[in-house]
């Protein structure tokens, strides 16, 4: 299915002019986000993630590049190509939530939501009703007349979500929205975002430094470092096929490499000519199949698991095993072919004959 591109950032750069030096926070970034995506942008603080997403609704003016949201080009050739008034209307269709919630603390919960509806042409009664409906959607209808400071962090973030969704946006930008929350609230908010994505078809841009958040709900991921998108792809791709060291660090693949290093002496250095070390990555249903048993039964190949790890990416279970296969060349090849047919990603770590050649 060819999806429709809803956010299109082309060659976007953002440079901050400071007194003496100029700092390039975002360097020539091109990202296309499809409608209905939950698009994770990960990276350490200072990588330029927040600056990058702020150009989507022009809270941050880029220095150069082109920005298109839906059918509207907002920025091109170094300047805004949209009137202030149209930009304000456009911003109402791009909801945004923040790490520190950024609510109006002198206004009640329902007034906070109502604030976003101020220019919606709804009469007072309809506005009130809509605000209440939004609060109901985030399970906070009973707190309508409370002040934000009386709520927990997770509840405050839910108010912020209700406010962000007030004008029925197609896009929700989440800027480290769970970073100030405890794990329980974090998961609640992430699950809420996922529910909104499924129920309303909301496109979510999820900025975070927590890979767990991305693993839980994202379907695509971009990794940023020093203002540059260093790697981009589907969640599974990023998790199983990452090329950049930083990406590996984020997805926890470096755990595997460290395991290899640690096992180097114990196992890998002493590989026999009839042995081969492999990394096996498998998804979903193949996880539950007794691969090791099958290999031995069908191909007379012994599989010795030396490291094993299981991740849950959204709905998909991803297993990573480092194994040493022992058997004749032909049988080992058959076994590998069988694994590949069973949708297992097979990467050769080391072959025994290399050592003993």
Collect all residues with Cβ–Cβ distance below 8 Å to 104 and sequence separation of at least 6. Answer: 111, 112, 115, 148
Interface with another protein, residue 160, by CB under 8 A: yes
How far, in Å, CA of 343 to CA of 97, rounded? 39
Interaction with another protein in 129-148: which residues (CB under 8 A)?
147-148
Q: Which is nearer to another protein, 98 or 299 (CB)?
A: 98
Shortest distance in whole angstroms from residue 96 CB to another protein: 4
Interface with another protein, residue 158, by CB under 8 A: no
Quote the least distance from Cβ 107 to another protein, whole Å: 7
List the interface residues with another protein, window 28-67 (CB under 8 A). 57, 59
SS3 157: helix
Closest distance of CB 40 from another protein, Å: 20
Q: Let me know: does 224 contact 43? Beta carbons within 8 Å.
A: yes
Q: What is the DSSP-derived secondary structure letter of residue 161?
A: H
Angle at the Cα of 243 (from 14 to 64), degrees rounded to 5?
15
Kindly state the smallest distance separating residue 147's Cβ from another protein, in Å: 4
* Least Å from the CB of residue 338 to another protein: 53
CB 286 within 8 A of CB 350: no
* Two structure tokens written together for 25: 């926070």
Q: Are strands 94-98 and 38-42 parallel, antiparallel or unpaired?
A: unpaired
Measuring CA to CA, how many Å separate 78 from each of 167, 221, 286? Answer: 29, 27, 50
Q: Applying CB under 8 A, what is the total number of residues that bind another protein?
A: 31
Q: Residue 116, interface with another protein (CB under 8 A)? A: yes
Quote the least distance from Cβ 71 to another protein, whole Å.
18
Give 59 or 287: the residue with its C-beta nearer to another protein: 59
Nearer to another protein, 1 or 149 (CB): 149
Binding mask 166-205 for another protein (x = CB under 8 A): xx--------------------------------------
Which residue carries 């969640």 as its tokens?
235
Span interacting with another protein, options 96-104, 135-143, 294-302, 335-343, rule CB under 8 A:
96-104
The piece of 3-11, 89-97, 247-255, 339-347 that touches another protein (CB under 8 A) is 89-97
Torsion, Cα 281 285 289 292, to 10 degrees, reads 0
Which of residues 163 and 350 has its CB atom nearest to another protein in the complex?
163
Which of residues 104, 122, 132, 200 is near another protein by CB under 8 A? 104
Residue span binding another protein (CB under 8 A) among the ranges 95-103, 134-142, 209-217, 302-310: 95-103
If the CB atoms of residues 119 and 258 are measured against another protein, the closer one turns out to be 119
Q: Which is nearer to another protein, 92 or 267 (CB)?
A: 92
Among 26, 29, 103, 204, binds another protein (CB under 8 A): 103
Shortest gap between Cβ of 100 and another protein (angstroms)?
6
Contact 349, 280 (CB under 8 A): no
Query: Which among 282, 319, 322, 329 has a CA at the least distance from the CA of 305?
Result: 322
295 with 259: CB under 8 angstroms?
A: no
Does residue 274 contact residue 328 with C-beta atoms inside 8 Å?
A: yes
Q: Give me the helices (H) in the chain, please.
A: 49-54, 84-91, 109-116, 124-137, 153-164, 183-200, 211-217, 235-241, 245-251, 253-266, 291-299, 329-341, 352-355
Residue numbers at the binding site for another protein (CB under 8 A) = 57, 59, 88-92, 94-96, 98, 100, 102-107, 115-116, 118-119, 147-150, 160, 163-164, 166-167
């Amino acid at each position: 299915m060819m999806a429709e591109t809803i956010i299109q950032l082309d060659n976007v750069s953002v440079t901050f002019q400071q007194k003496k030096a100029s700092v390039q926070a975002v360097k020539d970034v091109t990202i296309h986000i499809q409608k209905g995506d939950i698009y994770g942008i990960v990276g350490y603080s200072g990588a330029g993630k927040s600056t990058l997403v702020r150009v989507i609704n022009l809270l941050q003016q880029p220095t150069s590049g082109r920005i298109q949201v839906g059918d509207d080009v907002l920025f091109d050739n170094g300047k805004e190509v949209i009137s202030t008034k149209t930009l304000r209307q456009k911003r109402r269709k791009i909801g945004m939530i923040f790490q520190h919630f950024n609510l109006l603390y002198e206004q009640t919960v329902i007034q906070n939501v109502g604030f976003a509806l101020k220019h919606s042409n709804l009469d007072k009664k309809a506005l009130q009703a809509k605000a209440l409906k939004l609060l109901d959607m985030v399970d906070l209808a009973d707190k309508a007349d409370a002040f934000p400071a009386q709520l927990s962090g997770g509840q405050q973030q839910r108010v912020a979500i209700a406010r962000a969704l007030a004008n029925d946006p197609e896009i929700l930008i989440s800027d480290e929205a769970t970073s100030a929350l405890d794990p329980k609230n974090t998961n609640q908010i992430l699950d809420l975002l996922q529910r909104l994505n499924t129920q309303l078809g909301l496109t979510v841009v999820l900025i975070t430094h927590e890979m767990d958040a991305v693993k839980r709900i994202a379907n695509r991921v971009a990794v940023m470092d020093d203002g540059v998108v260093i790697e981009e792809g589907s969640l599974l791709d990023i998790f199983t096929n990452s090329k950049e060291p930083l990406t590996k660090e984020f997805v926890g693949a470096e755990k595997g490499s460290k395991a290899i290093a640690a096992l180097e002496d114990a196992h890998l250095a002493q590989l026999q000519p009839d042995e081969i070390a492999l990394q096996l990555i498998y998804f979903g249903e193949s996880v539950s199949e007794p691969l090791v048993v099958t290999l031995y039964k069908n191909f007379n190949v012994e599989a010795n698991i030396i490291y094993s790890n299981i991740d849950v990416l959204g709905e998909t279970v991803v297993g990573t095993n480092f194994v040493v296969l022992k058997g004749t060349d032909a049988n080992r090849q058959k076994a590998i072919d069988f694994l590949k047919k069973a949708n297992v990603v097979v990467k050769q770590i080391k072959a025994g004959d290399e050592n003993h050649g």
